[in-house]
Amino acid sequence: MNDIAIVGLGCRFPGAADLRAYWKLLLRGERQFTAVPKDRWNHDTFHRPDDPQAPDSAYTDQVAFLTDVDRFAAGHYGLPPRRAEAMDPQHRLALDVTREALDDAGLGRGGFDRERTGVFFGISASDYRELATARLRALGLADGSLGTTADTDALNALRASSVRDLPPIGTFTMPGVLLNMAPAAVSRHFDLGGPSLAVDAACSSSLVALDHAVAQLRRGTCGTAVVGGVYLSLTPDSLIGFSRLGALSAAGVCRPFDTRADGFVLGEGAGAVILRPLQDALVAGNRVYAVIKGIGSANDGASAGPLTPSSEGQLRAMRGAFDDAGLPPAAAAFIEAHGTGTSVGDRAEVEALRLLRTDGGERDPGLCYLSSGKALIGHSLSAAGIAGLIKTALVVHHRTVVPQPDVIPRPELGLDAAGLRVADTARALPLSKSDVPVCAAVSSFGFGGTNVHAVLQQAPTATSVRRRSVSLRTHGVATVRDAGPHLALISAGSPQLLREHIDDLLDHLERPDAAPTASLAALAHTLAGREPLPSRLAIVAGDTAEFTERLRRARRQLAEGARGDLGDGAFAADAPLRPAARRIAFVYPGQGSQRPGMMRELHERYPDFRDAVDALGAEAGRHTGVDPADLLYGPAADSADDTALRRRLAPTEVCQPLLGTVQIAATGLLAACGVVPDVVLGHSVGEFAAATTAGVLPAEETVSLLARRGAILRDAEGEPRGSMLAVQTDEETCRRLVEDVRDVWTACLNEPRQTVVSGTKKGLATLRRACAEAGIATRALEVSNAFHSPRLTAGDEAVRADLDSRPLANPRLPLVSCVSGTVCDDPEQLRRLWARHASAPVRFSAAVRSAYDAGARVFVQVTGGNSLLSAVRRNLVGQDDVHVVAVDSPAPDGQRGYLGALARLAVLGVDVDVRKLIEPADRRLLDLPIARLETQSYWWGRRPTAAAHGTRSAATTPTTPPLPSIPADTPRRRTSAAPTKDHAMHELLDLIQHQVTLLGRLGEALTGATDTEPARPTGHADDAGAEAGTPAEVAAETEAATETAQDAVFEQIARISAFPASELHAGQRLVDDLGFDSLMLTDLFTSLKRRWPSLTVDERCARPTVGSVTAMVREEALPRPPGGLTLLPQPAVPPVPEPRHP
């Protein structure tokens, strides 16, 4: 447990919007020093280069600042504009870099224990707080509260001019600027339940945070940790303060260890790393950038002063780190120094390093490269340690020393005597002198004397594995051909950002150095581990050459406005469907849907599917003597012709358990990919697989039942056996035709224009002639019996007896029975329906409508091609919100068809995860670009401005902010709907009710109101005995009350959240979609109660939507008839038809 792996990195530093840009900047040695941007403050007011001692001034204007720090993807994080503008941008950066680090680690969509994940952030100042409280400070100066002489005229002038334009402190100001809320925001958004704390040790804050995290991981308190640091300079305070200390470079260039060094340049930045115990990371297959072998921390103690560095204190931290690592200091081939470029600081640090490396009389400690990132990006104070840690991890990972530009080593430092060298060009990391893997180290020292040193080592070499692939290059793209196709899921924050992300991916894939890592399996695995964003592209391809070509083509198609099915296995959408619009129904076909070799490619390539088929097939074979796996995929299946195979699959005693086996296994494979149903139904015998999915029967029990049922029905009909015929006409026409034919019955009511009949072969031949004379098409079905007809009634009693021996559980989700055509939630009712299942007609048309009424909008046929999906569409004609997807494709490559179905579901918004479809040996993470989020400007006292893309230049035209993007069904969000969350929501409801009551009492106390004369609710009858108005009057009052309620609710939600009222609609969830918390909900209900005092906070407030709150208020606003009953319009309830039997 001592070794800690760094498995994910995310950052934003000057000149580097992300991790890949940071590494490029380091490799090129590009300095990022510029004048103070005009959008920070007017530095002309404070800049005095010719008078360094002038009060309230800085002698330099050079800084290394981030751009667009006002921009934030509030919608992505579920934060309303009102909260976003009150939120310290340091907190926002903490969210952004954590998201990128989790994505980089392949954990963006989960796969780790969130409850045991801690958050440790170094953060030591909040200039945003100074901006948010500027109004108070100005008033305090004018009225004498801050020790000045009161000036009434100045106070009145401030109130009338400058202060008037500054917003007062609001509800979210305090949580928005507290330092501890940076890690708290990360814990809350990502639902992390471990320790969450902010660390302030000045410049060493983020490495002190690292020390805390390592300790928690080693103790086992945490299984994963997020460690970060952040700093922004939003006021001139720090620049002026460091000028007073003389610590800043007058030349405006930071030159650590250089003869020209004269101080540092103030920088900014944010970074985060994801840590896991090394063994856990290796078992999980995480990419390991570097291993933290040891960490040491110490304080200077009673040294020369709190701002004066001490070699002794630094040396204690360094020795502690190497002792903790169990490694000699000479093992380090690279050291990322604190390296501020001050004369005293550089001298103290090099002295400590010399003593460390020559400890014990070591005369030749070997070559070690010394570096300081402050030479490029300045000193980012509380983020400096994380900047150095990420840099060092990258140096170890890439085994490359990065350069420090234009350096002239300072002779008196004695670098050579310590075996230290500052690299002026990028070069390979030298091998360690000692017989250990290459090591590196990083230091961070803070004002106040807190020193931290960490020792990193290269990751263990992965065990070589056999790969079924060969390297090749096609059309200029480096590729590794993988066994079988893969599905790559690409997403971004908006359609424009998706196109830009595709450009970034193409640039990356077409680099000359992409060859060693361009396996499509690894690429698909990397993309699948990232959090799905709204705009999506899904591509099925066989290798990276094919993928790259399809990616290029899709880029052109998207630019031309194409969406949906782009052809050749590519699908795209601007945004996922709303959650209610992507509820899934699994549809299972019955007999006749079987075919030779069905789903063969899935059986060959996916172990989960193969194992399930083999296990269930063995259970079926135990009862029937025929193993479905052998029948479908064994040697006999390869040698026989198609006609012979179809005959072997047709007998009902073989077909029923075979279909159940394949359907249950296919359902399990879909679940492994994150696709689970909200509703299930099955046509004919497919109903039993549907019931298994709903949890009514275990899988083995279902296969056993189907085997026994098949044997019963085989003998139930007698000889000669009948058959079935599909008739292309409506139910009524078919009934008239059947009435004139003996021994034929209506069997399946599939759709408005198709009915299936069942009967004797002689009777069916007669009916077929009659249909031909009437111009009605027919088709014979490949079945062994006259199912769903009275000819099988003899088997009902035996099936009933078998069912009585099997316990049935309550369905876990809506199960629609095709016997009744309705949802069945009672196992005993289901038992009765199944007892006559074989002889009763299939009411598929009614079942489809019931599934739709139960909320299903995406109908997924699990096996048997798309045979039922056309019927689904025709049964729901006119319902434009219906989508149909076939999982089992009869195409030459069923695996492509399966992946294509997953691709379609993914762009609809389903949480598709293809990682389990990729062989473990190919589950490698690649250094792919991270998609940017769509951002807007949020700043204290400013209106949000138009959306911008990622970190690119901000738009300047004011506009209303967009509502949060529709969330995908990510695992984290699904977890939020679990029963434990329901308990939390009820606790929140109680809290809201309590707060509303307290605020109401406070209002009464302030206004003098008492309980003896309660306020009369607005819109209620003045007298309980008053006559009700005419229907027309009541209708008019009802309509007016509805408009009043909606206007009031929309107005208050818009006021509290800052979302425009015009963008609100009834389906939006206040918490999940609009970012409301308990304070905002309390504000909403309190304001509504002021208008309608009798309004009660009830169960609808536990998970409130805009519509439910409007309905609650509407009930209070409606007129009341005698007796005080609210007049509510009654919805028409359609009658439920009784099942009709032949």
Residue 278 CB partners (closer than 8 Å, separation 6+): 3, 4, 5, 288, 291, 460
CB neighbourhood size of 828 (10 A):
9
In the numeric block, which tokens belong to residue 886?
A: 């076939």
Residue 74 in contact with residue 267, Cβ under 8 Å? no
Please choose, from the candidates 221, 228, 149, 151, the residue with its C-alpha nearest in 3D space to the C-alpha of residue 182. 228
For 474: left if phi > 0, alpha if psi spans -120 to 50, otherwise beta; the answer is beta
Can you tell me the distance from the alpha carbon of 888 to that of 861, in angstroms, rounded to the nearest whole number?
A: 8
Residue 80 in contact with residue 1059, Cβ under 8 Å? yes
Residue 146 in contact with residue 257, Cβ under 8 Å? no
In the numeric block, which tokens belong to residue 156?
A: 């009145």
C-alpha separations of 1091 from 103, 296, 1048, 1085 in Å: 47, 61, 9, 10
Please choose, from the candidates 539, 139, 205, the residue with its C-alpha nearest in 3D space to the C-alpha of residue 379. 205
Residue 992 in contact with residue 1082, Cβ under 8 Å? yes
- Under DSSP, the state recorded for 206 is H
Provide DSSP, 1034-1087.
Answer: HHHHHHHHHHHHHHHHHHHHHHHH---GGG--TT-BTTTTT---HHHHHHHHHH
Q: Which of 47, 76, 91, 203 is catalytic?
A: 203
Is the link from the previous residue into 495 a cis peptide, with omega within 30 of 0? no
Residue 332: how many CA atoms within 13 Å on its side-chain side?
A: 38
Can 508 be counted among the known catalytic residues? no
Can 379 be counted among the known catalytic residues? yes
Can you tell me the distance from the alpha carbon of 315 to that of 582, in angstroms, rounded to the nearest whole number?
A: 60
Can 203 be counted among the known catalytic residues? yes
Can you tell me the distance from the alpha carbon of 310 to that of 321, in angstroms, rounded to the nearest whole number?
A: 17
Can you tell me the distance from the alpha carbon of 365 to that of 353, in angstroms, rounded to the nearest whole number?
A: 11
Provide DSSP, 833-875.
Answer: HHHTTTTSPB-HHHHHHHHHHTT--EEEE-SSTTTTHHHHHHH
Coil, strand, or helix at residue 148? coil
Q: Which of 379, 397, 788, 949 is catalytic?
A: 379
C-alpha separations of 795 from 626, 638, 1139 in Å: 22, 35, 21
Sheet holding 564-567, edge to edge: 486-492, 535-541, 570-573, 564-567
Q: Which of 212, 338, 501, 508 is catalytic?
A: 338
Can you tell me the distance from the alpha carbon of 144 to that of 1097, in angstroms, rounded to the nearest whole number?
A: 45
For the annotated catalytic residues, the residue numbers are 203, 338, 379
